[in-house]
Amino acid sequence: MTTPSEPGDDRLDPSGPGDERVDPGLSAIMSERRQLINLAYRLLGSLAEAEDAVQETYARWYAMSRQQQEAIASPGGWLTTVAGRICLDLLGSARARRERYVGEWIPEPLPDRTEWISGRPGGATLDPADRVTLDESVSMAFLVVLEAMTPAERVAFVLHDVFRYSFAEVAEIVGRTPAACRQLASSARRRIRAAQTPPAAPAAPQAGIVRDFKRAWEARDINALIGLLDPDATAIADGGGLVSAALHPIEGAERIARYCVDVAGVASDLAILERTVNGQPGLVLQLDDVTVAVMAFEVRGDRIKRIWGVRNPQKLRPWTTD
């Protein structure tokens, strides 16, 4: 299998060359870390789980003898294969866990790389190797559609359509024939078309609509909020049973607007900040400078069609130093 860091490879976010003056073997292996994090996040929808999967991948590499490592022609390809298989197994077990999840499950939101916080003591900036490249393949709308796929569909689709691996390479990871992997990816594309997920709206117009929503929310202007929402808009919250949040989707512009105004009434000192969420304009809610929610939006035309609000504190690690 070819690796994402080989010369001439135009796959998503190829890793740059490492510092070979220190240890060429170690440098080549560690240069794959960012690519693996990017792959694992898109497969799992969770940064925490992606980090665990990559850590397990490296643990398996270093569990081998030096002779076994040197016998591998493409270490980058080996790492990708192992990480992909780990993610495939995790996706299978995640389905069972999410059936027991309290309320709605939303993928873990990511901040703009310039605002990424590790969550470690002191709020040190996250290692650049652990940052996820933000593009249309990590928009919240796209990730939510991926959640509806079977584990095999998701792995085949992400590897082939997003990271541009051949179906022969995908087959090695998924454990099926190339023809079967082609069918899996085709089925995944049909799911995307059925979900009617539109291309991301241009950043500037979408940012303006989100900004208007923020201002109307701060003013508790129900009519203005309704005017910014699609009549059939849906709002979904994720508290994970750890904090209060709507357990079921809120349907309709008026119901969403009234819910937002009610929230503002209960938390009068709530700060609403404009931030980039998974590469697109979003909002961050703070109380006493602590992030308590992150909101992502899907905008169609000049109206907000969907809102995802993540309140589960375990999913807000990159957003807060607490």
The enclosing domain of 225 has a CATH number of 3.10.450.50
pLDDT string in tens for the chain (322-residue length): 333 333 234 444 433 333 334 344 666 677 889 899 999 999 999 999 999 999 999 999 999 999 999 999 999 999 999 999 999 999 988 877 888 889 999 999 999 876 655 443 344 445 544 556 767 788 999 999 999 999 999 999 999 999 999 999 999 999 999 999 999 999 999 998 888 655 555 667 899 999 999 999 999 999 999 999 999 999 999 999 999 899 999 999 999 999 999 998 888 789 999 999 999 999 999 999 899 999 999 999 899 999 999 999 999 988 875 4
179 & 273 share domain: no
182 & 217 share domain: no
pLDDT at 172: 94
The answer as to whether 232 is a domain residue is: yes
Domain count along the chain: 2
Q: Secondary structure of the chain: what % helix, strand, coil (to 5)?
A: 50, 15, 35
pLDDT at 181: 97
H helix or E strand, kind and range, residue 233: strand 229-238
48 three-state secondary structure: helix
Q: Which of 153, 169, 194 is the last residue of a domain?
A: 194
The answer as to whether 3 is a domain residue is: no
**Which pTM value belongs to this model?**
0.83
The answer as to whether 18 is a domain residue is: no
The answer as to whether 4 is a domain residue is: no
Q: Which amino acid is at 239?
A: G
- Residue the block writes with tokens 């980090």: 51
272 & 211 share domain: yes
Q: Judging by beta carbons within 10 Å of its beta carbon (0-12, 13-18, 19+), is residue 65 exposed, middle or buried? A: exposed
Q: What is the pLDDT of residues 47-69, one digit of tens each?
A: 999 999 999 999 999 999 999 99
The answer as to whether 10 is a domain residue is: no
Q: Which of 194, 213, 228 is the last residue of a domain?
A: 194
Q: Which of 133, 165, 194 is the last residue of a domain?
A: 194
The answer as to whether 211 is a domain residue is: yes
Strand 271-277, strand 280-287: pairing: antiparallel
The answer as to whether 16 is a domain residue is: no
Q: What is the pLDDT of residues 151-176, one digit of tens each?
A: 999 999 999 999 999 999 999 999 99
Q: Phi then psi for 277, rounded to 5 degrees?
A: -120, 115
Tell me how far apart the alpha carbons of residues 52 and 317 are, in angstroms, rounded to a whole number: 14
The DSSP code sequence of 66-88 is HHHHHT-S-HHHHHHHHHHHHHH
Strand partners, 300: 303
214 & 284 share domain: yes
The structure tokens listed for 148 are 């509806």
222 & 240 share domain: yes
190 & 208 share domain: no
pLDDT at 13: 42
64 & 188 share domain: yes
Tell me how far apart the alpha carbons of residues 22 and 261 are, in angstroms, rounded to a whole number: 57
134 & 232 share domain: no
181 & 259 share domain: no
**Domain coverage including residue 225:** 203-319
30 & 80 share domain: yes
40 & 158 share domain: yes
210 & 276 share domain: yes
